[in-house]
Amino acid sequence: MPVPNQSDQKLAENAMPEHRHDWGLGATALRETVVPAERRRRIVEFLRANRSAKNEELAAALGVSVATVRRDLDFLATQGLVSRTHGGAVLPESSTAYERLYSEKRVLFQDEKRRIGQAAAAMVADGETIILDTGSTTFQVAHHLAGHKNLTIITNDLLIAAILEFDPTTQLVVTGGIRRSGFSVLIGPITEDLLRGVKVNKSFLSADAVDLTHGISNATFAEAATKRLIIEAARQVVLVVDHSKFGGMALAKVAGLERIHHIITDSGVSPDVLQGLERLGVPVTVV
């Protein structure tokens, strides 16, 4: 039987019932009495997915007053579960080596990733050669390439290789390599050797984190090394990331943003990030 983590144990406290409220954030509306512990657990879940939140944003999603949200955030801060900011909260600084399992990533921001994938696929012309990095967003790029013809697609993502169907005229090349436990990615010397020996029209790159100053980073050294080769192999590099990836840093730096020719992200990205990318001269498509 799994042992609850420390965060969940802390959230089980103060369980007196309050009024009934609907819960937003894409979840099914709650039709039961919501206790403070449940509401606070959902606040932490939201922060885990989005990294930050404003008081008004949480109040609207939970169907409670801003004052209630402030009290909940103050309580969570005393437990070390959130850090208060002006007008909201963020998760406390966590390990840069932390990474969600692929099965968890796939269910986050699904609509946003579908839009990003569609826009990225529209950048590909029939007959081109491309590399698809591993990830739940690049999976959506691959899905929207089904109607393209005469492509050569190189990937180190086993789900892209095993699940998706492409046009019969398209050639799919799987890099080979060592499968990372818990993920669909191939890494290691075999993967890297193949990538060193190819040159493609476009690479579609994913990332664990994107920072305007630090650039693109990943939670593991092995994948970071693979991503650098994916960048080197392409005439044009397109970074495909949802808005939650901006503003953070992961363990291993992949490359600076000057190596990226285009970014495709969703409308949840902050104006500050867009302005920063404009100053850096990186073209951005927002979907």
**DSSP 8-state symbol, 244:** G
Name the class of domain 102-286. alpha beta
Residue 209 phi/psi, 5-degree rounding, is -155, 150
* pTM score of the predicted model: 0.70
Tens digits of per-residue pLDDT, 118-130? Answer: 999 999 999 999 9
Q: What is the pLDDT of residue 179?
A: 95
Say yes or no: do domains 6-90 and 102-286 share a fold.
no
Please tell us whether the domain made up of 6-90 is placed in CATH 1.10.10.10.
yes
Q: Which residues in the chain show pLDDT less than 70? A: 1-34, 92-104
- In this prediction, residue 245 carries a pLDDT of 92
Q: pLDDT tens digit string along 166-205? A: 999 999 999 999 999 878 999 999 999 999 999 999 999 9
pLDDT the model gives residue 230: 98
Q: Is 107 exposed, middle or buried (0-12, 13-18, 19+ CB in 10 A)?
A: exposed
Closest CA relative to residue 17, chosen from 29, 6, 30, 27: 30
> What pLDDT was estimated at residue 48?
76
Considering Cα of 170, then 171, then 175, then 179, what sign does the dihedral take?
positive
List the structure tokens of 260.
């990226």
Domain boundaries, the chain: 6-90, 102-286
Contact 155, 131 (CB under 8 A): yes
Given this model, what pLDDT does residue 26 score?
Answer: 42
